[in-house]
Amino acid sequence: MFNYCPSCGSKKIAFDNSHKWSCPDCGFVYYHNTAAATGCVISTRAGIMLLVRGREPAMGKLDLPGGFVDPGEGAFEGLRRELREEIGWVPPVGGDPDAAFKLFASFPNIYPYRNIVYNTCDLFFTIDAPDLTEADLKLEAAEIAGVKFIKPADVNLDDLAFESTRRAIKAFLLLQ
């Protein structure tokens, strides 16, 4: 990622343990830390909702709704924002706005984007929304090429974009 120290310009900058950049000449340190991300299995009568990715990485592959948690957000809040952005739908807010989301699994993922590899810690949630259909959604055109509802046992794991999502779907099947 860095060929030169961004602070002093030294070429001796080194990348240690897959997450720490450090410069021996000026003491500059930058942690390229694991990022938190969310994914959500939304269960409807027609099956679970999978989105067709509209951009790289893994364009055309299937993915769960969700995404990176922004600075200042908790995971629930980040997921709610991603749902609003990606599919234009969020579960109805009752007394506890987070009660609709149930955390059921967490796996690491690797997300390459424009020649930089991001390591993520993905948190996977379930939501029950039996009556939800495609007509209730407003898909984010720049990011999402389509939506599919597939019975959990019929999901072809090879069609999924990311290893963490494959593991999450396998963990979800064990809950059934």
Binding interface with Zn ion (CB under 5 A) = 5, 7-8, 10, 23, 25-26, 28
The least distance separating Zn ion from the CB of residue 156, rounded to whole angstroms, comes to: 49
Closer to Zn ion at the Cβ: 8 or 110? Answer: 8
Closer to Zn ion at the Cβ: 5 or 83? Answer: 5
The least distance separating Zn ion from the CB of residue 15, rounded to whole angstroms, comes to: 14
The least distance separating Zn ion from the CB of residue 35, rounded to whole angstroms, comes to: 25
Query: With b meaning 16 or more CB within 10 Å and e meaning fewer, what string describes 3-12?
Result: eebeeeeeee
Closest listed residue to residue 172, CA positions, set 102, 104, 83, 106: 104
Closer to Zn ion at the Cβ: 11 or 84? Answer: 11
99 Cβ contact list (under 8 Å, min separation 6)? none
The least distance separating Zn ion from the CB of residue 6, rounded to whole angstroms, comes to: 8
The answer to whether 57 touches 73, Cβ cutoff 8 Å, is: no
Helices (H), 35-139: 75-87
Closer to Zn ion at the Cβ: 10 or 34? Answer: 10
The Cα 28–Cα 57 span in angstroms is 31
